[in-house]
């Protein structure tokens, strides 16, 4: 590895002026008592491990000197608190250090067979520069709460700390439901939202079209579109034909044809009730039957009257009508 440049070293030792004097004094005392950089690093980790520091997702607010407040007053926090306090002490002791953020943990989704890394697995740790080793990864949170690193955040925080129910994972059926939903969402993201040229080529190669020309693909596209259009048109025509075969409408049409043959033709804009009034006036001897047929038709077609026996009765009345 290459050594640090002067700019990198200066940046890895930078601290804000005028703040956290107690933490600075603690770091200077540790540095004087330490044999070397590694020993000071172990002193800070031992402090976190043996003193009353706690891991929680709901730490109290920190004041104007946040590192002092954390190390000497609240002593409660999550990974970012411990990583930043550790890096501050290292820098104050003259050892280059930096905070690193990323993710720690994850689990395999057995439904889709892939690794799931959630926002709840976000983590912060530190890196310390040692002249004989380069950048060395150090996780101060592991000194306070080994469970956070070994078993995940749900095992590390108290049951009273707020966590999504899906992160706690106490219910097996809920875990399976979460895996299934996540797998569906991942499939949608991969094959719909992320359908790029590489995935197109992979899909075509699976069906033996990896060497297809653009002319062949155009024919396939037109053919597929035509089949979909024909299927849609067939479904619509079938639905329209079903509407046309409405037995109540067919019986009433027969009733209108019967009256039309006797000179009472229904106008296209004429409603059933108005037509019944006019037909009854033309055929007074059949007025009662015309009114009953029309009333029953309106109730069957637009009202609450229903049932096959009612349709059969309407059909019988139209058949018995004499004009």
Q: Which residues are catalytic?
A: 79, 123, 139
Parallel, antiparallel or unpaired: strands 54-55 and 107-109: unpaired
- Both structure tokens of 317: 């009345």
Per DSSP, the residues of 251-283 read HHHHHHHHHHTTT-PPPTT--HHHHHHHHHHH-
Q: Evaluate whether 59 touches 49 at the Cβ level (below 8 Å).
A: no
E-strand ranges in the chain read 54-55, 76-77, 97-103, 107-109, 114-116, 122-130, 134-138
Integer Cα distance of 224 and 215 in angstroms:
14
Residues 6+ apart with CB under 8 A from 48: 82, 86, 140, 143, 144
Q: Evaluate whether 132 touches 95 at the Cβ level (below 8 Å).
A: no
Q: Evaluate whether 319 touches 288 at the Cβ level (below 8 Å).
A: no
Integer Cα distance of 87 and 139 in angstroms:
11
Residues 6+ apart with CB under 8 A from 233: none
DSSP bridge partners of 115? 108
Cα-to-chain-centroid distance, residue 283: 69
């Amino acid at each position: 590895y290459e050594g640090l440049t002067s700019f990198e070293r200066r940046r890895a030792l930078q601290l804000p002026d005028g703040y956290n004097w107690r933490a600075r004094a603690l770091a200077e005392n540790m540095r004087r008592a330490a044999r070397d950089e590694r020993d000071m690093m172990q002193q800070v980790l031992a402090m976190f491990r043996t003193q009353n520091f706690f891991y929680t997702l709901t730490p109290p607010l920190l004041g104007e000197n946040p590192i002092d407040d954390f190390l000497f007053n609240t002593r409660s926090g999550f990974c970012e608190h411990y990583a930043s306090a550790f890096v501050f002490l290292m820098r104050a002791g003259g050892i280059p250090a930096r905070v690193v953020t990323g993710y720690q943990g994850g689990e395999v989704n057995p439904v889709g067979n892939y690794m799931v890394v959630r926002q709840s697995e976000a983590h912060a740790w530190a890196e310390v520069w040692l002249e004989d080793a380069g950048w060395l990864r150090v996780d101060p949170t592991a000194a306070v709460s080994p469970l956070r690193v070994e078993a995940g955040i749900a095992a590390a925080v108290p049951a009273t700390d707020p966590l999504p129910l899906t992160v706690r994972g106490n219910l097996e059926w809920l875990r399976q439901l979460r895996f299934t939903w996540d797998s569906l969402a991942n499939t949608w993201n991969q094959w719909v939202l992320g359908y790029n040229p590489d995935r197109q080529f992979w899909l075509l190669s699976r069906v033996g079209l990896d060497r297809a020309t653009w002319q062949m693909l155009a024919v396939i596209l037109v053919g597929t579109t035509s089949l979909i259009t024909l299927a849609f048109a067939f479904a619509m025509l079938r639905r329209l034909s079903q509407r046309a075969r409405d037995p109540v409408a067919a019986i009433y049409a027969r009733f209108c044809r019967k009256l039309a043959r006797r000179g009472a033709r229904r106008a296209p804009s004429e409603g059933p009730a108005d037509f019944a009034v006019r037909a009854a006036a033309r055929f007074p001897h059949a007025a009662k039957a015309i009114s009953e047929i029309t009333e029953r038709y309106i109730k069957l077609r637009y009202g609450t009257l229903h049932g096959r026996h009612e349709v059969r009765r309407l059909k019988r009345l139209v058949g018995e009508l004499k004009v």
